[in-house]
Structure 1
Amino acid sequence: MKARLARAARAVAVLLLSSACQSTATPGEAPEVPAGVVTWAASADRFGEAAADRGYRLVVHTSVGGHDARIRLSNAFGDRPVTFDSVYAGLQKQGAELVRGSNRRLSFGGARSVTVPAGQTVLSDPLPGRLPAAVNLVISIHTPDAAGPATGHWMAMQTSYATRGDHTAEESAANWTETTGSWFYLDAVSVRAGADIGAVVALGDSVTDGWQSTSDQNRRWPDYLARRLRQADTTVKGVANEGISGNKVLADGSGQSALNRLDRDVLSQPGLRTVFLFEGVNDIKAHTGVTADDLIDGYREIVDRAHTAGKCVAAATVGPFKGWSEWDPEAEAVRRDVNEFIRTSGEFDSVTDFDRILRSPYDHERIHPTFDGGDHLHPNDKGMQAMADAVDLKSLDCGDPLP
């Protein structure tokens, strides 16, 4: 109780700071939260130079089913407006080919095209009809005049497709001959799934992003978690993966830091019930002088801001990484202290001990060989599933985090 009262007091100050930060349109700004629940999401980041007259056929996997699907297009890192003059949504048959009759045009405020200002996002109108859970939804977009920095998610672990010109209305794969392992401009999909249905958003780094899991098979640990939630007696059904490879809690670099992207990537998601915080290994292994206390302060700010927004925060301990090139005893000492805080502080609404799940019984500083994806840091498919299986599903529906 004392810990929660302390968090509530800190939240008052954070609320004032957050309100000030949201008064301008910056890449970290939280868009308006629509009704419904998020069924898929990917964190936005800065890409290279955008290209005009390009089409992208983006394949994403839904977590929760519902009606009236909406997509969110992001120009968060653009330095000029970007126009989407044709956007369609359909279901994947195979490759770039769509299920016949499934491809339908999306509108924006009743119009077929939309221009997204620099640093902003836009929501589509609801698309009438039902979108099932656990299907591959395909969003096809065309940008006639894109230029400057593009916005997207580079490590999708999913094959999507690209083309020259506008072929968004076509269900055939004939003109979609280029492949890409990234998602462009699309950063969220939501549905209406009932007033009591909520979502969990995983905030993390490359382990959450799915590196070393099998591409095109949806075997990241949040995917396995979504499978469990679909079968469970719980109202938390949506899962959004907001991992970025190389991401840190405290410092920008591979994407904005968790602190700087929390509003846009996490707290803006509709139906959000719980933030699942699993991040910190990149801060620890970077050898930039980050201490356990520094990282703990970052965690506390995330908890405070999430609680201020009325959301729960689940956390997971940082996994072992001995054998990775940046490991050394000093980094291991920071990891150990951080994990002790996560386990025992009472700051979080629930804790999953990924460290205990992943570590070798013979050397607690190393990942178990059965779970090692090969680089001694990232779990393979078995490790990803073991992580998801360790989550107490009831803890994700923990109610109001403040007393």
Structure 2
Amino acid sequence: MGHRLGRASPVEGGDIPWSGCPAGDGLKHRTVRNAVFLSAGGDEVRVRLTNAFGERPIRVGRASVAIQDEGAAAVPGTLRSLTFDGRRGATIPAGAELFSDPVALDVEALSKLLVSVYTPQATGPVTNHPFTAQGNFLVRGDATRDVAGGGFASTPCWMLTSGVDVERGRKVTGTVVALGDSITDTAATTGNADQRWPDHLARRLDAVEGPTLSVANAGLGGNLLLGERDGQPFYGVGAVDRLDRDVLDQSGARTVILLEGINDIGYGSSAPEIIDGYRQIIDRAHARGLRIVGGTLLPFKGSSIWTPERQETWSAVNEWIRTGGEFDGVADFAAATASAGDPLRLAPAYDSGDALHPGDAGTEATAAAVDLDQLMPRHPRDPGHDWDGDHRRRD
């Protein structure tokens, strides 16, 4: 299985402010049903379950996958039971992730799957992804084979599922991983509408004729580049610390797009400190044979974290991204989303209302700033690929 398509960035279980996610208390005799956006299609899928931050093993009684119809309901005839080494149940060790066996299922690009996991025993705090801009579902008992989904209540987080791989579809040669914070994760986009900028990038890549890439979203709301926010584990460990699990070890990873650092500026990090973090990620990506594209930080003047001193840091960081020559390519997200009258502010049409996060139109403009030729050109660090540079859109 080669092409990573679902979410890739879990955090430890705990209480999450402003959220009804039960990850802190954990699950017992419950089925969680996660809705997962697919960037590419195929006829075989494999699901990754996670207990990456768990302190004890988690027993999975049963699990299933299906194509989403509406809400918690599956498209009739598409529900498939999952097995693990041929067994319906499995135990996810503490600190580990677990792949299901591949299962035959025809899925279309830009569609959604429902991944259902039943936990018969108390799990303790559950590894999760807290901010999803996506409704997910929860019900008492084993409902993994429930097609209609009528008994499920909504829950705002992904739990236990960290991603889906799809294989044997059209010629997808690898995966581009978008590494970032809330602007990559959900921003202030419309819920259940798949309006994140990596979703828009997936649409652009799906429209390419010839070899193309799938997209994995490794964004985490509130995340820092350089460290963890004290007392707020729901924002995840820093990007430099989660890089292996969330990016480098993902199936089929070929290219990274890095858009992170605005939260570090808000916490007082200097431009040299942020640039040093970028260099660590660049070096580690290159050591694994991946390309890495640097995304300039979006304008933030007028937001709650803006100060003149932080503006100077932002300007220095973006200048280095553009001219430092250490990234394999640059996506100038700042220029693409800036106001024509003031390049230090988000364009009004792209601003969600807080002068920091782009809304739906802003995330689409962000994705449009990515040069597809930079994602997978012929390159000495990746001699085995067969990208032919044909980026014509289908009629």
Does 2:344 align with 1:365?
Answer: yes
CA–CA separation in structure 2 for the residues paired with 1:103 and 1:326 = 46
CA–CA separation in structure 2 for the residues paired with 1:304 and 1:380 = 32
- The 8 Å contact of residues 273 and 397 in structure 1, kept in 2 or not, is answered as yes
- The 8 Å contact of residues 234 and 397 in structure 1, kept in 2 or not, is answered as no
CA–CA separation in structure 1 for the residues paired with 2:96 and 2:381 = 31
* TM-score normalised by structure 2 residue count: 0.90
Residue 61 of structure 1 corresponds to: 37
Deviation at 1:259, TM superposition (A): 0.5
| Aligned residue type for 2:278 | Y
Within 5 A, what are the aligned runs for 1:142-157? 142-157=118-133
CA–CA separation in structure 2 for the residues paired with 1:74 and 1:401 = 34
Question: 1:226-283 CA distances to partner (integer Å, 9 max, x unpaired)?
Answer: 0000011353321011100110110112201001110101111111110110100000
Residue 186 of structure 2 corresponds to: 210
Within 5 A, what are the aligned runs for 1:164-179? 164-176=140-152, 178-179=153-154
Deviation at 1:67, TM superposition (A): 2.8
Q: Structure 1: 5+ residue runs without aligned partners? A: 1-34
Match of 2:284 among 295, 305, 309: 305
Deviation at 1:401, TM superposition (A): 5.7
Does 2:68 align with 1:92?
Answer: yes
Does 2:263 align with 1:282?
Answer: yes
Deviation at 1:286, TM superposition (A): 1.4
CA–CA separation in structure 1 for the residues paired with 2:208 and 2:381 = 26
Does 2:8 align with 1:42?
Answer: yes
Residue 115 of structure 1 corresponds to: 91
Find the residue that maps to 2:12 and give its secondary structure.
strand
- The 8 Å contact of residues 73 and 122 in structure 1, kept in 2 or not, is answered as yes
- The 8 Å contact of residues 203 and 242 in structure 1, kept in 2 or not, is answered as yes
Deviation at 1:136, TM superposition (A): 1.2
Residue 248 of structure 2 corresponds to: 267
* RMSD, matched Cα: 1.4
Match of 2:54 among 78, 98, 101: 78
Residue 336 of structure 1 corresponds to: 315
Residue 126 of structure 1 corresponds to: 102
Deviation at 1:148, TM superposition (A): 2.3
CA–CA separation in structure 1 for the residues paired with 2:239 and 2:352 = 24
CA–CA separation in structure 2 for the residues paired with 1:394 and 1:206 = 26
Deviation at 1:193, TM superposition (A): 3.5
Find the residue that maps to 1:191 and give its secondary structure.
strand
Residue 232 of structure 2 corresponds to: none
Question: 1:276-309 CA distances to partner (integer Å, 9 max, x unpaired)?
Answer: 101000000112xx21111111001101111111
| Aligned residue type for 2:10 | A
- The 8 Å contact of residues 312 and 401 in structure 1, kept in 2 or not, is answered as no
- The 8 Å contact of residues 350 and 395 in structure 1, kept in 2 or not, is answered as yes
Does 2:168 align with 1:189?
Answer: no
| Aligned residue type for 1:128 | A
Residue 326 of structure 2 corresponds to: 347
| Aligned residue type for 1:163 | V
Match of 1:382 among 336, 361, 366: 361
Question: 1:373-393 CA distances to partner (integer Å, 9 max, x unpaired)?
Answer: 000000011111111111111
Structure-2 change in CA distance of 1:399 and 1:143 (3 Å):
farther
Deviation at 1:129, TM superposition (A): 3.6
Instruction: Report which of the two has the higher share of helix.
Output: 1
- The 8 Å contact of residues 311 and 401 in structure 1, kept in 2 or not, is answered as no
Q: Structure 2: 5+ residue runs without aligned partners? A: 14-23, 230-234, 383-395
| Aligned residue type for 2:6 | W
| Aligned residue type for 1:386 | A
CA–CA separation in structure 2 for the residues paired with 1:71 and 1:401 = 32
Deviation at 1:147, TM superposition (A): 2.8
More displaced 10-residue stretch of structure 1: 356-365 or 151-160: 356-365
| Aligned residue type for 1:345 | G
Deviation at 1:400, TM superposition (A): 4.0
CA–CA separation in structure 2 for the residues paired with 1:130 and 1:303 = 36
Find the residue that maps to 1:351 and give its secondary structure.
strand
* Matched positions, count: 366
CA–CA separation in structure 2 for the residues paired with 1:70 and 1:327 = 43
- The 8 Å contact of residues 205 and 212 in structure 2, kept in 1 or not, is answered as yes
CA–CA separation in structure 2 for the residues paired with 1:197 and 1:132 = 17
Same amino acid, percent of matched pairs = 43
CA–CA separation in structure 2 for the residues paired with 1:398 and 1:296 = 25
CA–CA separation in structure 2 for the residues paired with 1:147 and 1:122 = 16
CA–CA separation in structure 1 for the residues paired with 2:127 and 2:291 = 29
CA–CA separation in structure 2 for the residues paired with 1:234 and 1:219 = 25
CA–CA separation in structure 1 for the residues paired with 2:337 and 2:368 = 12
| Aligned residue type for 1:272 | A
CA–CA separation in structure 2 for the residues paired with 1:196 and 1:285 = 38
Structure-2 change in CA distance of 1:220 and 1:117 (3 Å):
same
CA–CA separation in structure 1 for the residues paired with 2:122 and 2:107 = 30
- The 8 Å contact of residues 172 and 214 in structure 2, kept in 1 or not, is answered as no
Deviation at 1:130, TM superposition (A): 2.6
